Every structure is written in C-alpha cells, then in structure tokens.
Amino acid sequence: MSHEAYDVVVIGGGISGLSYAYYSLKKGMRVAVVERGSLGGKIRTVNMGGSITEAGPEEIVDGPAIRGLISELGLGDRVIAPSASRFYLLYDGGRLVEVPEGVAAGVPRPSPGLLRAFLWGPLGPLDLFRAMLEPFKRPELGEDPSGHDLLSGLFGEGITSGLFETIIGNIYGGSLRRMSSEVYFPYILGPKKRGDSVLLRYMKGMASFGLLSFRDGLSELVKAIVNAINGLGVKAFEGTSVMQVKRDGEAFRVITASGALEAKRVAIATPVHEAVHFMPDYSEHLSWISRMIERTKVAVVNLAYEKGSLKDSRASGFLSSPASFGLSGCTFMENKWRRGGGSCIIRCFVPYSYFTPGGSALAERASGLLSGLGLVDGKPYAYDVSNFTYAIPIYRPGFRPASRWTISGLPPTLVPLGEFLGTTGIYSSISYALTRTQAGSEPKGSP
C-alpha cells in the first residue's frame, strides 16, 4: 500500500462500513475498506454440536432497508423469522412472569398478557390504569428527554420502573435514565410531540417491529456483502490500523502503518472514541459527541446441552436483573429460531460491572442459574464465550443535537457513519449507510 488513490476510503469494516462500501461501489466509485481486525465487526456465527448460534448480535429488526439489501444479495430464500416470541421476566425469588406484547418496544399494548403481568408481576391495578391513560396525556417534552422521563410521563412510574427499566435497559445494556429518547424511542417521541396517541398507533399496527435472521446465522449476511463488494472491485485491507487522517487540499490522506491511501471522500465507520485519536484535526467536534456516548461491556456465553434438555418448549428466553442474578438474560436458541441441529443452545449475557474475565467462570455462573431455575436437565457439554470490552454504545439524552453539531463542523466529504448517527443495531447501520450514499457527498446531519 503506497499512495493509492480512491474515490472513497471506508475506515471500519463492520456492518456500517461494509454497507456503505457496497452502496458506493454500486454507484461506480473506486472504494477501499480499512479494518484493523476482520471484516464483519462483532457479527460472529458459531456452530456447536451441529446447531447454529451467535457469539455477537443475534437478529436484525425487519424493515425496507434490510429487505432491499437482502433482495439485492440474493438471500431472500435464506431469511427466517423467530418461531417463538414469548419471553419471561425473572424476578427476585426465581419467579418467571411472561412479558406482554409490545413492552420490549416501550409500548404496553392492551392484551391478556399485559393483564397477567399486572396480576402476577410486581405491579398493581393502579399502575395498569395509569398506563392506559396515555391517549389523554400531553406531557411537556424537551428536545431529547431521557427514556425514563418519556415513558414515565406517558405510562406512569410504576410500569416504567417495574417493567421497562429491566426489559429495555437489558436489551440495550444501559439505564433508561441515561438513554436518549430521540435515538431509542423516535416512534414514541415523534408521534407524541405531534399530539398522537402511542397506544392507538400500536393497536393499529403503526409501531410494530419484526425480527429476522438467516438459516446459517448472521454471518451469511456478512459473507454475501463481502462477496458482493469483492465482485465490484473493492480493495480491502484487513488487519490494518489507521494512524491518522489528514486533509490534503480538497482530498484526504489516510495514513496506516503499511502506507497511505489518497481519497476524495472518507467514511468513518469506527467507534467515535477511536476516531478521536486518528483525526486530531477534528478533535474538538469528535470529543464533544464522544462525551455523549457511554461505553458498556458484555460477555456472550453460549451453552451447549444435549438435545431436549430445555424443559420449556415455547418460550424464546428471559430477561433478569444483573444485580440479583449476575445475568441480564438468556435466549433459548432452539425454541426461538428452530434451525434444527444436534444440540440445545442457550445464549446468555453478562453485562456491566458483572463481567468477569475467564470463560469457564462465566459458563459455570450461567449454567448454575439455569439449573437453579429448573429450566434445563443436566449440564452443558460445551461452551463458547465472547468478551466484548466495548460492546454496546449507550447514547445519552441530548445526543442528537450533539450529533448534528458535530457533523456540521466536518467537511462534507468526511462522511460519518455508525455511532456518529446513533445506530442501535444492524438495521439502522444499513439504513443510515444507504441514506448517506443516496444523499451524495453532502452530510445533512443525523437522519
């Protein structure tokens, strides 16, 4: 590598960077991707005893952007949807209560399941009554309130602390009090600011979310994108760290230990705190947005049991309080995705300060909890542990204004992706990458 010239250099080969590279190549641009590790980022599918599971992200929120990409890549017949959607909330004392539909999205849709949650969970009839008053509430909402302020203002403190905090906080790895509503709940915040009822919109099917994966796991998507960009002539530099990005007249020079790349445009698809180090000329703007993002760590523990060891054949898993159980939850992969195979795989999560290095200790903790709850027979015969010291970005209240300010201070040919835009998963990463390439070279602020 030595002073090679490209239309676009993408820094970061995770799903955001790969998607942007793909869409740029389709427009006839000459593209290079620089990735310090392996292409695909945190996505890693593993096979345990003939059964498929995920060591990183597990699923993708369904929607137009991912469906369009799936169609272009020829993966339509490889898509699968969850076979089991029911999951539990684990309370102190080991009591499992079924989570009602919609609660994971922050919307307590009226249903028999919701009534059971109030009868058998920690909440009471008054909490249910307060939640159902949402259509009549018109709270004062700031530009970007915390998730807790938004949901408690609409549905009451009881359901917010008793259900939303544990469920949504565990899904994203943070506290609702420190989560941006503009990032995580735009489908609630936006309509409510317009005077619409969130409950009524959800009941009409205007705020529902499907999930998808692939027959051989999410790595199928990565492999398909990599094959596609290779076919379109991408130049990929794996195992290569970027040392500095420097402005060179109207272009950029991306300096690595192996040489330099010249680019008319640079797309930044790394975590913001990494970009601060190799983009010192823009440190003021990058440091500002970096302060609006918390860094969390998590271990993903996959436990392989003999086929048929799981006693519950209908549930997809459970969520729990890490402070009480040391885990934030588990997914019953055999029930949820029905891929078949020779093993029963249970996928567990150890977050925050409860993270303890050492695979065997984490596996023993997870399997011990499952045995104590009476959910499985026997012990796992194998385990796979992935430690993510920087796993999930948590965007603080006020992130969107900070993001817009940061992007406005960058040259239009410096294209921010991923964390800069508040991505919360694979779908938003792909959607924002598509938006950026469709918009051309001029960033317009956060989508």
Contact 234, 32 (CB under 8 A): yes
DSSP summary character for residue 100: P
Rounded to whole angstroms, the Cα distance separating 197 from 188 reads: 9
At 108-123, the pLDDT tens digits run: 777 776 776 666 666 7
Inside any domain, residue 421: yes
Contact 62, 209 (CB under 8 A): yes
Based on the fold, state whether residues 287 and 427 are members of the same structural domain: yes
Structural domains of the chain, count: 3
Contact 198, 207 (CB under 8 A): yes
The CATH number of the domain holding residue 254 is: 3.50.50.60
Based on the fold, state whether residues 281 and 406 are members of the same structural domain: yes
Based on the fold, state whether residues 232 and 286 are members of the same structural domain: yes
Rounded to whole angstroms, the Cα distance separating 251 from 253 reads: 7
Residues in Cβ contact with 364 at an 8 Å cutoff, skipping those fewer than 6 apart: none
**What local confidence, expressed as pLDDT, does residue 442 receive?**
37
**What local confidence, expressed as pLDDT, does residue 447 receive?**
30
3-state SS, residue 233: coil
**Which stretch of DSSP H or E encloses residue 151?**
helix 147-155
Helix axes 15-26, 426-439, angle to 10 degrees: 30
The CATH number of the domain holding residue 336 is: 3.90.660.20
Based on the fold, state whether residues 288 and 309 are members of the same structural domain: no
Based on the fold, state whether residues 147 and 191 are members of the same structural domain: yes
At 256-310, the pLDDT tens digits run: 988 999 999 999 999 999 999 999 998 888 888 999 999 888 889 999 999 999 9
Kindly tell me the burial class for residue 150, based on how many C-beta atoms sit within 10 Å of its own C-beta (0-12, 13-18, 19 or more).
buried
Question: Domain ends where: 203, 232, 264?
Answer: 203
| Lookup result for tokens 């003021």 | 284
Pick from 130, 128, 95: which is nearest to 112 by CA?
128
Based on the fold, state whether residues 321 and 261 are members of the same structural domain: no
**Which stretch of DSSP H or E encloses residue 404?**
helix 399-408
Q: What is the domain extent for residue 358?
A: 45-60+297-388
Inside any domain, residue 195: yes
Based on the fold, state whether residues 426 and 335 are members of the same structural domain: no
**Which stretch of DSSP H or E encloses residue 414?**
strand 414-416
Write out the two tokens for 430. 């792909």
Based on the fold, state whether residues 149 and 193 are members of the same structural domain: yes
Tell me the pTM. 0.91
Based on the fold, state whether residues 108 and 192 are members of the same structural domain: yes
The C-alpha angle with vertex 179 and arms to 351 and 157, in degrees rounded to 5, equals 100
Exposure string of 292-329, with b = 16+ CB inside 10 Å and e = fewer, is bbeebbbbbbbbbbeeebbebeebbbbbbbbeebbbbb
Over its length of 447 residues, how does the chain's per-residue pLDDT go in tens digits? 556 799 999 999 999 999 999 999 999 999 999 999 999 999 999 999 999 999 999 999 999 999 999 999 999 999 999 997 778 888 766 778 777 766 767 777 777 767 766 666 667 778 888 888 999 988 888 888 999 999 999 999 988 988 888 888 888 878 899 999 999 999 899 989 889 998 888 777 655 578 999 999 999 999 999 999 999 999 999 999 999 999 988 899 999 988 999 999 999 999 999 999 999 998 888 888 999 999 888 889 999 999 999 998 888 999 887 777 778 889 999 999 999 899 999 999 887 555 555 678 888 888 998 998 899 999 999 999 998 877 789 999 999 888 888 888 889 899 999 999 999 999 999 999 999 988 654 333 333
Based on the fold, state whether residues 192 and 224 are members of the same structural domain: no
Based on the fold, state whether residues 286 and 399 are members of the same structural domain: yes
Write out the two tokens for 77. 């017949």
The CATH number of the domain holding residue 171 is: 1.10.3110.10
Rounded to whole angstroms, the Cα distance separating 153 from 189 reads: 11
Inside any domain, residue 86: no
Q: What are phi and psi of 121, to 5 degrees?
A: -90, -160
Based on the fold, state whether residues 130 and 168 are members of the same structural domain: yes
Pick from 376, 358, 355, 357: which is nearest to 367 by CA?
376
Inside any domain, residue 211: no
Q: What is the largest CA-CA distance in the chain?
A: 69
Question: Domain ends where: 203, 231, 263?
Answer: 203
Inside any domain, residue 107: yes
CA distances from 11 to 19, 109, 172, 279 (A): 12, 42, 25, 12
Inside any domain, residue 429: yes
Contact 238, 86 (CB under 8 A): no
Inside any domain, residue 371: yes
Question: Domain ends where: 388, 411, 427?
Answer: 388
Pick from 225, 215, 210: which is nearest to 63 by CA?
210
